[in-house]
Amino acid sequence: MARTRRARARGIIARATAHGLVARVGCSALALALLGCGDDSAGTESTEGAGPMEPEEQRPTPKFIEPPAQKLTVFTHEHADVTLKVEDIVVGNTQVILDGYSVGTPDHDNPIATLTEETLSLHVRGGLVAGPHTLELVTQGTTAVLRSAMVELVTAADTDETVSVEASLELLDLAPGVTARALSSDAGGERGLLLIVFGDAGDTPTLRVLRAWEPATPLDVPLTGYVHDDAQPSPAVTASLIEETVRVAWRVGDPGVAIAGLDVPWGAPADVSATRELAGTPPPLTDVAEWTAYGRPALLYDALVAELHAPADAETPHPGDHQLIKVTWGDDPTGAPRPAQPFVLGDRFDLDAPGPALDASSALAGAAPVIALRSSGVRPALLRRAGSDTLVFTDGVEFARTGVDPGAPASTAAILGALGSETRLTAVGDALALSLQNASSRLENPIEATWSVAVPQGDPPEQPDRLPAAAPSAAAAPTLLLGTPVFLVPYGDEASVHAVYSTGATAEVIRLGELRCDAIATPLDRAGNTSGEQSFACLRDGAVDLGRVRLTREAP
């Protein structure tokens, strides 16, 4: 079954088909997500020490040959390198200045750009947010800085093409013989890990890990003490592939009284006796928190963090009673757990709602050492792994808001693109909002760099381009299709799965026919940014099916 529509004023047609150390970053999100904030070699405004010196008269001023008008427009769904012609470049000396920040003298190993004597290539992989940027070339002379003319780079939504999204199920009952309770995905290897929590009432829950989403060789890990909460959007369990070992961590009890973990070599049976308690009785957060509990854990490769909060009771929650803690994975599984370390980011500073973040600008497919967070109840934030024992936190740019009620539990999912772009879907109850950041630090009015839009709701039978007036049954799953950020939202028995996608400026909705899922997951890789197709897993009535979601575009 298929249908089409033409969006008002945008000309978009949609078709749906069924079947250690914590560092807080003081620079902008652009410097972190794009320019490697914290790296001494890039992301600074300084142009000193750009390379070996030579006589001043031998150094020409760098120039942009193309675009000739010193202005270039790129569509937000662009997913191939953007190349500009240049000349008079001193390789190893000439720096690229993007939005006022130096990205150094980028060579072929630079994830942001590559500069040669003839071309400047910006590595774009989709997921862009509409807005202005600037480019400049700078050569360091012995007595002067030689600067090119400034080029304005504008990312804009393509309002002329028609967009279609389809979904179909291709492999039924991915985990035969078990009753699945929850789905999620984590990074690890080329395609990441598909995580299936299963188990009948009264049995010890088990986590089934599918490496590269391959059902033929599953790894089962008993989750001793885990209590699944159907009311939560995501299971309180996480896993990561570290070389040939799967590291698993989960919350014990509900409310959570501890965090437990287990390392399992791939292909070997899980040794339950090696399960370790990583964090015991939660430490107090603030003077006003009478007692605390652990929430959902998350792994950034081998670094483990977890929610820590004061559960709601008869008293009013206070600012600062939702935090994130770092949990140390001790070498001795029989030893006492080390105290959890709360992130120290200021007084009354809330962090919660860890969720998946798909990094389109990552140099390696499947490498996603980043999670999405909500800070202070209203702002989008990110936590990255940087270095052997460092976690880097980045708050949203000024005026950034998630666009939903700050006082309620939330689920988040984010897609990160080049040029400091972030697209995030946040759900609170039955309200969903898409927030977008174009983290250029040089906009005269910073409010123009970030905005949020409520995803439209309506009556699905009459308005299939709107979300149903019901709460999602589980967290949204992010994916990138032909450079377009897409979030798959499940509604269980209430309604079909809906796709929320971003044009880079607005939110659009497509109902995926009669496809119904209680929970949904997608790989945390970039495979769909060029092919337009991506796998997804659908949990329905205890069975897990594998499908494909496809996005196509047609010129007017």
**Residue 38 pLDDT more than 70?**
no
Other Cβ atoms less than 10 A from the Cβ of 91: the count is: 11
484 domain-assigned: yes
Q: What is the mean pLDDT of residues 368-394?
A: 84
Mean per-residue pLDDT over the chain, rounded: 82
- Higher pLDDT among residues 44 and 502, named by residue: 502
What's the pLDDT at 447? 66
Say how far apart CA 421 and CA 126 lie, in whole Å.
9
Q: Is the domain of 217 the same as that of 334?
A: yes
Band of pLDDT at residue 35, cut at 50, 70 and 90: very low
**Does residue 5 lie in a domain region?**
no
Query: Does residue 17 lie within any of the structural domains?
Result: no
Count structural domains, the chain. Answer: 2
CATH code of the domain in which 67 resides: 2.60.40.10
Residue 246 forms part of a structural domain: yes
pLDDT at 287 over 90: no
- CATH number, position 440: 2.130.10
In terms of C-beta distances under 8 Å and separation of at least 24 residues, what long-range contacts does 303-307 make, across chains too?
A: 303/20, 303/385, 303/389, 303/391, 304/238, 304/249, 304/259, 304/261, 304/278, 304/328, 304/329, 305/354, 305/371, 305/383, 305/391, 306/249, 306/251, 306/259, 306/279, 306/340, 307/352, 307/354
Instruction: State pLDDT tens for residues 66-105.
Output: 998 899 999 999 999 999 999 999 999 999 999 988 999 9
Distance CA 314, CA 75 (A): 51
Q: Which of 36-45, 100-109, 248-257 has the lowest mean pLDDT?
A: 36-45
pLDDT value, residue 340: 75
Residue 133: closest CA among 399, 502, 448, 442 = 442
How far apart CA 371 and CA 381 sit, in angstroms, is: 9
Do 126 and 169 fall into the same domain?
no
Query: Is 60 in the same domain as 173?
Result: no
13 located within any domain: no
Q: Rounded to the nearest 5°, which phi and psi values hold at 552?
A: -130, 155
In this structure, the number of other CB atoms found within 10 A of the CB of residue 469 comes to 12
Whether 307 contacts 324, CB under 8 Å: yes
For the segment 153-163, the average pLDDT, to the nearest whole number, is 92
pLDDT digits 0-9 by tens, 202-238: 789 999 999 999 998 999 999 999 999 888 899 999 9
- Is 392 a domain residue? yes
pLDDT, one tens digit per residue, over 405-428 is 776 778 999 999 999 899 999 999
What is the residue range of 148's domain? Answer: 47-156
Q: Which helix (H) or strand (E) holds 488?
A: strand 484-489
d(CA 436, CA 415): 10
Q: Check whether residue 224 and residue 123 sit in a common domain.
A: no
DSSP string for 248-267:
EEEEETTTB-EEEEEEEETT
Question: Which tokens hold the place of 317?
Answer: 């929650």
